[in-house]
Amino acid sequence: MTSYKIALIPGDGIGAAVTEAAWEVLGRAAHGAGFKLEGTTFPWSCDFYEKTGAMMPADGIETLRGYDAILLGAVGWPKRVPDSVSLHGLLLPIRKAFVQYANIRPHRLLPGVEGPLRASAFDILCIRENTEGEYAGAGGRVHNGTADEVAVETSIFTRKGVERILRFGFEQARKRRGKLASVTKSNAQKYSMVFWDEITAKLAADYPDVEVTNYHIDAMAARMVMAPESLDVVVASNLFGDILTDLGAAIQGGLGFAASANINPERDAPSMFEPVHGSAPDIAHLGIANPIAAIWSGAMMLEHLGEAEAAKAVMTAIEAATARGIGIEPGKHKTQDITAAVLSALG
């Protein structure tokens, strides 16, 4: 029987509850489809940091490298560990070390979910560059603590990095409705964003079947609210994609529905699957976190592993649960009741 080795990193706050829910659903789906998921849990988190002084062990990345995929809950507990420490100690290094350059985030309304917009039918796939750009980590501070202090944080856009994410976007558009929206701010940022637009234009010649439109980030933010149905695949830099996908989460009814996949398309290192929402410390022990984003991320993991049928079964089960009104109103249903509804739809 085919078996996949999955590294589970529940992390902080609601991460544990939603990862447990997703893992239960995925196990059931695997059983139904005749393959095995073998999970190993790593307690890397802010708790771990308080005990050891690091978010993960020094050889953490090398340990994870041996797995077929990583399922992550959430990272961060800012009252205990500054976000700049916890995220740079666990989530961001994994994305970079495993060259998970394509962060994919689907935004559509699940059955029964109304969302805040009048628009009821949209299906957007946001593709966020995930390894460089504004998150490159290049910068520094001088004259610390003085009136003359200066902080510099430089975005880094490489031809290799921009080309590969755009190519990935074109490929996704080709598999969907053939429309690619490339998001920049090249009217104001004349080096990196003009560079991005030039590469978009160059690659477009290889994809004559894809209709490409360039948008500025500000106009795209408005379009996602006013005319989300006009969008298919949206590709953006790391920070722009980060911001647009929180907007995407909002228009799809909230962060509880926002799934994501950090993909290494070359498959020379594991990819990582995580809900977009954070650790939500305020509701961490109330048992009311919505596990749907984590379960949906798990379905994306199955898809990536080549188990399309099981992935489809999980999505159908999520949709059956929300269509019955389960898990669509924040706080109304318990995490375990939503999970149970998905499990029962899975059969």
Residues contributing to the site for ligand IPM (CB under 6 A): 87, 242, 276
* Closest distance of CB 63 from ligand IPM, Å: 22
With CB under 5 to 8 Å by kind, the binding choice for 69 among ligand IPM, Mn ion, none is none
Do 314 and 298 form a contact (C-beta atoms < 8 A)?
A: yes
With CB under 5 A as the contact rule, the residue among 24, 132, 242, 307 that binds Mn ion is 242
Judged by beta carbon, residue 185 or residue 333, the one nearer ligand IPM is 185
With CB under 5 to 8 Å by kind, the binding choice for 224 among Mn ion, ligand IPM, none is none
With CB under 5 to 8 Å by kind, the binding choice for 232 among ligand IPM, Mn ion, none is none
The answer to whether 274 contacts Mn ion (rule: CB under 5 A) is no
* Closest distance of CB 249 from Mn ion, Å: 9
* Closest distance of CB 152 from ligand IPM, Å: 20
Judged by beta carbon, residue 210 or residue 255, the one nearer Mn ion is 255
Do 152 and 182 form a contact (C-beta atoms < 8 A)?
A: no
Contact segment (CB under 5 A) with Mn ion among 32-40, 99-107, 241-249, 330-338 equals 241-249
With CB under 5 to 8 Å by kind, the binding choice for 87 among Mn ion, ligand IPM, none is ligand IPM
Judged by beta carbon, residue 30 or residue 259, the one nearer ligand IPM is 259
Judged by beta carbon, residue 182 or residue 297, the one nearer ligand IPM is 297
* CB-based closest residue to Mn ion: 242
* Closest distance of CB 38 from ligand IPM, Å: 26
Do 142 and 161 form a contact (C-beta atoms < 8 A)?
A: no
Torsion angle in degrees (nearest 10) through CA of 251, 255, 258, 261: 140
Judged by beta carbon, residue 203 or residue 301, the one nearer ligand IPM is 301
Judged by beta carbon, residue 168 or residue 207, the one nearer ligand IPM is 168
Kindly give, in sequence order, each residue whose CB lies less than 8 Å from that of residue 121, ignoring residues fewer than 6 positions away. 109, 229
Binding site for Mn ion (CB under 5 A): 242
